[in-house]
Structure 1
Amino acid sequence: MHNSIRNKGMVFTIFISLTISVSAQNTDLKLWYNAPAENVWEAALPVGNGRLGAMVFGNPGQEQISLNEASIWSGGPNRNDNPEALNALPEIRKLIFEGQYQQASKMAAQHIQSKRINGMMYQPAGDFRLVFPGHENYAGYYRELDLESAVAKTTYKVGNITYTRTVFSSVPDQAIIIHLTADKPGSLTFEASLLSEHNSKVIVAKDNILYLSAQSSDKDGVKGAVKFETGVGIKQKGGTISSDNGNLKVSGASSATVYISIATNFVNYKDISADEKTKNAAYLHAVMQKSYRRLSKDHITAYQKYFNRVQINLGKTPSAGLPTDQRVAEFAKGNDPQLAALYYQFGRYLLISSSQPGGQPANLQGIWNNKMNPPWGSKYTININTEMNYWPAEESNLSEMHGPLIEMVKELSETGKETARVMYGAAGWVTHHNTDLWRISGPVDAINYGMWPMGGAWLSRHLFEKYLYNGDREYLKTVYPALKGAAQFYLDFLVEEPVKGWMVVSPSMSPENSPKSHQEISIAAGTTMDNQLVFDLFTNTIRAAEALNTDVVLIDKLKKMRMRLPPMQVGQYGQLQEWIQDLDNPNDKHRHVSHLFGLYPAGQISPYHTPQLFEAAKNSMIQRGDVSTGWSMGWKVNLWARLQDGNHAYKLITNQLTPAGVNQGENSGGGTYPNLFDAHPPFQIDGNFGCTAGITEMLMQSHDEAIHLLPALPDAWKDGSISGLRARGGFEIERLVWKDGHLYEVVIKSTLGGKCRLRVPNQIKGRKLAVAAGNNPNPFFQSLEVKPAIISATAGLRPAEIKDTLLYEVDTKPGKTYKFKISQ
């Protein structure tokens, strides 16, 4: 008994210590403001559980909670293939190879472009409103989003009474929870209502449950078929609850908990047979059985399982006590490393909140949208934006959040088979530059954007990348059919171009850009990005097949075809060419830098293995410029990190962390909204995720045969630490510390065993650490066999500027941890 009491005391002491530690950290992990959002959606604060999203405005007198559910989309199951493409394909290719681009584009618009369906729209569920009589005059206002707990809170005073609201979206209980309190008993009175722009019906059930029933919108001739129901229940402490004219009214309570559930008839992309009312009733009944304390505890536990894996410290900021919107406005004027760290963790928060296992992937706005017809339909734009959403998933230790995208790729590998067969007469599967809830795989939008049959190649990269981190052969078996099918399509679709005899993708384009010499006609053959994508896909499929000891004949075909792909080329301005011909304009400031896919996210361009391409990529980045749309600047953070220029990457972070509308440049206005949402403009979430990935790449990279520590550390972050990052090969960076710009300590855990190779900026020491040489034998770090570049005689390349580094390695065992420190 005595020992038991002593043990309990020990546990209690540890709990107090952890509480103090978390409390101290909380000041670094909050977005906070001293004014409500009022009617500005981009100032409201997002909460989400992957399926249910809410934007919390924090308005004292009339609170607005904008509601979303991930499967509320316009239309229903449909296809958008154009069968005319197959017969037109030979003539379109002929016209492209003859240089008759205008005629080729016109013919593609007539026979390849979708006749009517350009993707459905992600739509809001509606708004939940709370009206508090007399709360228009308030004082002591404060609102926050705590990234540590995924809870939004609003507090203010009316007279001498303090009112507090907390809001979160729970994964374990599949509901949005709002808790309202007043510090004087009996002073909480409010009216609650549900509204929707959909054709909807609101009723109050006899047990004072508020229900809104609606159906999604029609689009492009496809009838809106998603039925949904929102339910609201309230439990109050003290006072009374009543209903009036479709609203609920709570009077004289001391506290109240609001439970919001939403359910749809969606089962999967081809099945909408569920009963939304039965599903919703089950959600609401289950959650209303629990106390607020239990709901809060379960929510935080489930959330922190993921969020707490990574902690980051980039240094302290004297101005950290300012409201978040003021810090964004001031960021460019001085160094605010704590805001950069907050922005990094906000990206991880958004991914956890918008992409949960078993659900839909994060779309163009994550899960947060208040418009019936949102920009670009808030769809899945897969010529970069959707992939960008998931760049942080593996390396920032959120592998489970990657799952919804992996499942979407599997589903597209099914719908895309019909598109490949009907439109192009090819085996395997294909999808173009956009898709939606219904997994359409034909071209979307005008031909200048839609003629890009490469979505399957880029998405398939995620299938294999996940394997490089987890080393799980059973997982690889589940995704290999989709990976193989994507490769099979290009084996059939590639065509020989007449000048060099290379095998190229035609027709296609370099996403959303066009050579100035072609009068804004984008259609082309053999663009650099396409060549890089197919090379990447073939290589990953070969490696997957070899790991699974299967498809020997396919491996041989892929290796032979890979040798016939065009090499990367350096043009007359010393740039990495964007097109197969030397057509680049050094004054082109287009937001897409598609030809640099080989630098990032792929690893085909390396300072150590392809220094001339490395220098050409750098020249392209300089020519393209910095300021652009928000997501483009997020991509450029990663690109400059891969170019090992930490100060330039930091400059892009500064540009991105600028209030929306301040930056000037192509598509000017890119930057950050008051709630830290990325501005395209308008809001696109990919910029948030891109910058989180970019900060990771500045501190750790693992693509080029080694784990490279501090490859692009800016001068602004002299001292700092990060823990919990994951590297390819099954390694976890349990602790990375640097002081005065030098690596000080690194602790690495090996989950798979095998050779761990480290590239570092200064000498370190550790048990069994040896100097490395030659190729890394670890199969997860296999180098790419990139063809030698073709370099223009007028390119004028100078030697690539590469940082001095040291290369070490250590043999590791699964489950073991290895510690290295600065060499004294």
Structure 2
Amino acid sequence: MNLNRAIFFSVLYASISFLCTYPVFGQGQALKLWYDKPANAKIWEEALPIGNGRLGAMIYGIPQREELQLNEETIWAGGPYRNDNGHAKGKLRAVQQMLFQGETREAEKRINEDFFTKTHGMPFQTAGSIILDFPGHEEFQDYYRELNLENAVALTRYTVDGVQYTRETFSSFADDVIIMQLTASKKGALSFDLSYTSMAKHRIFSHANRLILEGRGDDHEGIAGQIVYQTHAAVKSRDGKVSLTGNKLSVRDATSVRLYISIGTNFEDYTSVGADHVQRADSKLQEAMKNSYKSAIKKHIAGYGKQFSRFKLHLGQAEEAMEKPTPVRIQEFQRTQDPSLVTLLTQFGRYLLICSSQPGGQPANLQGIWNNSTQPAWDSKYTININTEMNYWPAEVTNLSETHQPLIQMVKELSESGKGTAKILYGADGWVAHHNTDIWRVTSPIDFASAGMWPTGGTWLTQHLWEHYLYTGDKSFLRRIYPVMKGASDFLLTTLIPHPAHQEKGWMVLAPSISPEHGPLSAGVTMDNQLAFDMLTRTALANEILQEDVDYRKRLCAMAKRLPPMQIGKYTQLQEWLEDRDDPKNEHRHVSHLYGLYPGNQISPYRTPELFEAARNSLNYRGDLATGWSIGWKINLWARLLDGNHAYKIIKNMLTILNSDNKDGRTYPNMYTAHPPFQIDGNFGLTAGVAEMLLQSHDGAVHLLPALPNVWHTGGVSGIKARGGFEVDIDWVHGDVQKVVVRSAIGGNLRLRSYVPLHGKGLQEAQGVHTNYLLHPAIKGLDAVIASDATLKGNTLRKVFEYDVKTVPNRNYSFTRAN
């Protein structure tokens, strides 16, 4: 394989930017969540989220008693710890033998005893709330509140006794504090009291014109709470009187007031907690209060907008529907089929990712950065058997590459902490992580054997590093993260063992393992094989690109060839396990064996049509109704199956209101998606799924509108990205591409795939196999690993036209539909 030459020509990640005559750029009014009544004080999912990556708040917008429920990304229970069980040393071979002999229950019992501890991860915790009490505001009129996705500012407005009151709030991307401006239309009409509420161990005191809450993260499962934090609240008022008495800050007879909220913790990194939390909170507040409000909000919008404005989407709109409050639009969606609501939910996912994941910080967890509990569902930690990965599916394709950095940093840290776990539990080289981790980067299994004995969590996470490289073509980045990839592969090389039932085939498997959250304890499960294949072959590709050790590369490829191929079972399904044990009536939420279809690229309608059909059958068997995050995955899977109408059917299942009248809904009034309860991965999965319906770049070409549903017959997208350093704009009419503009960041050959013929300068009909490996990263000679002996009647695919164009860096290329 000649990858050095291939990499130069095939770094293909098309990001097409759209110059379209449709009202995409005039959609400002559309990109707002708005409401004609306050949030219910008891329903957190009616409040509106703001965040700047580190600081989050949920704003209720209640006139008489406003609540800002606060979060800071490093407030977790416990402190630096490990969860390795030393009793596991030397026990692996015995457990494997039990498993291969069919003694599954005994193997599970031994694993629970010897491989697990009593610590199952620390919870992410709320920082408490700031309460603003407004005497006399119980009776109000002309109420309105909104969250503007284009500027990341929340607004509340209402009238009391002829006076209009306005609250404007944002978590500043420039000053790293939360700022609220409160105004009254009548001079001296603004009075309120500010106080704190908190479920944590805390004390409240005043100092230097500030009201301060000092709290501490909880002890949890025998791990002492070591996070200490302070929240500082201060106000600046043009007039009126500000006073501090006991546990309360009071403002009287003012006209305009600015509230500043700063939070600092003692967290340094996953190994230490020695930072000065007081200085952190104090310094940020002092600096922020020096600026005028006009300057502060301008800098905030500029910082946030630099990311949000890159990607624009127009799927059509229903004017009548758009005039209604957001919960009503969701409730009526099944009738209206308003495409602008899908646009809003898609952009809301990008908003949430920007607001919960920024360079230098922590990755978005199970709830992003928003959590009102000290004991949230599933600890709101990092579930890395799908949920954490799904959080970052939109990062590259929707032009938010920098939001990926916190996850990439976490993977680097896991590669450090996971070395000890690999040695203790498996006697292996490299590093390993299982199905859960937290801010302290624990890597041993959590929960119990049939849920947590899954050794490929780190293997999956490491694919995100490779994907970032494919989208950017950044070779210096690849060199920095190559040791992480090598460590993940070293674990596989020293842990894969021969399957005794398939000795004649020489198959190597991981054991013990599970198909995530869908037991039983097994060996050689399909998802493990797919992940191991990607890890080994992608590390081999990186090895050649960087001109590393050739012998090591040969070892990687040799092991990849010994992985079991995907199997097609008796129900014409893609088998979830090595054994043919799938139940076509089982509608389990996890579809782990379809990783090879999405987000992987091992299953293709063009290269592996039998597996493609088998994957479709498996997905049909699992059904269309699911938990919110599973719906998010299924949208992407149906998009990869090139079935836009079915993908849209799944979107419709997501856009069902969850409220007191409908407990089976999947979208809350504030557009959070529901497991239920709330998990943010559903939001991120949907955003990625819509992008996947509009552009794909994983299968040897940049495919334009691969899975466009009939209902989105006319529209446009700009700033969508493809592998290989491309940015793409597309507009379409009656479902067909009309115009495409491609911006190439790094140059190289671009292969375009379209359902209609295209015309443009430099465009040539495609010839032969595409040489740009960034579009189809595979190693020659290993296709047999993803092949099958089964013969099925393949589905008829729509005819495609393929073109090549040689691109140079930093240049635009424009194409139109040919007559």
Question: Structure 2-normalised TM-score?
Answer: 0.95
1:753 aligned residue: 747
2:358 aligned residue: 356
**Are 2:506 and 1:506 equivalent residues in the alignment?**
no
528-537 or 780-789: which moved more? 780-789
1:78 aligned residue: 81
Structure 1: how far apart are the matches of 2:638 and 2:510?
28
SS of residue matched to 1:725: strand
The AA in structure 1 aligned to 2:323 is G
1:286 aligned residue: 287
Structure 2: how far apart are the matches of 1:476 and 1:128?
44
- Deviation of 1:246 after TM superposition, in Å, equals 1.3
Structure 1: how far apart are the matches of 2:124 and 2:454?
23
1:523 aligned residue: 521
2:603 aligned residue: 605
Maintained 8 Å contact 1:661/1:671: no
Maintained 8 Å contact 2:24/2:314: no
Structure 2: how far apart are the matches of 1:70 and 1:329?
33
**1:484-495 pair list within 5 angstroms:** 484-495=486-497
Maintained 8 Å contact 1:629/1:669: no
1:774 aligned residue: 768
- Deviation of 1:333 after TM superposition, in Å, equals 1.9
1:247 aligned residue: 248
- Deviation of 1:792 after TM superposition, in Å, equals 7.9
Maintained 8 Å contact 1:119/1:377: yes
1:161-213 CA-partner distances (Å, limit 9, x unpaired): 110001100122010001101111110000111221111111111x3211101
SS of residue matched to 1:781: coil
**Are 2:794 and 1:799 equivalent residues in the alignment?**
yes
- Deviation of 1:80 after TM superposition, in Å, equals 0.3
- Deviation of 1:781 after TM superposition, in Å, equals 2.1
1:512-567 CA-partner distances (Å, limit 9, x unpaired): 003xxxxxxx2100000000000011111011111111121211100000000000
1:661-704 CA-partner distances (Å, limit 9, x unpaired): 7999xxx8361100000100100000000000000000000000
605-614 or 190-199: which moved more? 190-199
- Deviation of 1:23 after TM superposition, in Å, equals 9.5
The change in CA–CA distance for 1:365 and 1:195 in structure 2 (over 3 A counts) is same
SS of residue matched to 1:360: coil
1:519 aligned residue: none
- Deviation of 1:773 after TM superposition, in Å, equals 2.8
The AA in structure 2 aligned to 1:433 is H
1:601-652 CA-partner distances (Å, limit 9, x unpaired): 0000000000000000000000000101000000000000000000000011
SS of residue matched to 1:480: helix
Structure 2: how far apart are the matches of 1:22 and 1:746?
15
1:587 aligned residue: 585
1:574 aligned residue: 572
The change in CA–CA distance for 1:149 and 1:203 in structure 2 (over 3 A counts) is same
SS of residue matched to 2:195: strand
- Deviation of 1:797 after TM superposition, in Å, equals 2.9
- Deviation of 1:85 after TM superposition, in Å, equals 2.1
Maintained 8 Å contact 1:570/1:790: no
- Deviation of 1:24 after TM superposition, in Å, equals 4.3
Structure 2: how far apart are the matches of 1:678 and 1:175?
27
The AA in structure 2 aligned to 1:686 is D
**1:224-243 pair list within 5 angstroms:** 224-243=225-244
The AA in structure 2 aligned to 1:696 is A
* 1:678 aligned residue (673, 696, 708): 673
The AA in structure 2 aligned to 1:125 is A
**1:551-562 pair list within 5 angstroms:** 551-562=549-560
**Are 2:102 and 1:102 equivalent residues in the alignment?**
no
The AA in structure 1 aligned to 2:516 is P
- Deviation of 1:818 after TM superposition, in Å, equals 0.4
The change in CA–CA distance for 1:44 and 1:428 in structure 2 (over 3 A counts) is same
SS of residue matched to 1:423: helix
Q: Which runs of 5+ in 1 are unaligned?
A: 1-20, 515-521
SS of residue matched to 1:579: coil
SS of residue matched to 2:123: coil
- Deviation of 1:660 after TM superposition, in Å, equals 2.5
Maintained 8 Å contact 1:669/1:680: no
Structure 1: how far apart are the matches of 2:180 and 2:730?
39
Q: Aligned-pair RMSD on alpha carbons?
A: 1.5
**Are 2:175 and 1:173 equivalent residues in the alignment?**
yes
Structure 2: how far apart are the matches of 1:754 and 1:790?
29
Structure 2: how far apart are the matches of 1:223 and 1:443?
20
Structure 1: how far apart are the matches of 2:147 and 2:289?
24
1:787 aligned residue: 784
The AA in structure 2 aligned to 1:679 is A
2:806 aligned residue: 811
Maintained 8 Å contact 2:716/2:730: yes
* 2:44 aligned residue (25, 31, 41): 41
The aligned length equals 789
Structure 2: how far apart are the matches of 1:440 and 1:85?
16
Structure 2: how far apart are the matches of 1:65 and 1:93?
52
**1:290-689 pair list within 5 angstroms:** 290-318=291-319, 319-501=321-503, 502-514=507-519, 522-660=520-658, 669=664, 671-689=666-684
Structure 1: how far apart are the matches of 2:785 and 2:453?
29
How many percent identity over aligned positions? 50
- Deviation of 1:83 after TM superposition, in Å, equals 2.2
Structure 2: how far apart are the matches of 1:420 and 1:489?
7
* 2:92 aligned residue (89, 92, 97): 89
Q: Which runs of 5+ in 2 are unaligned?
A: 1-22
195-204 or 682-691: which moved more? 195-204
Structure 2: how far apart are the matches of 1:415 and 1:211?
36
Higher relative contact order (CA 8 A, sep 6+): 2
669-678 or 694-703: which moved more? 669-678
- Deviation of 1:26 after TM superposition, in Å, equals 1.7
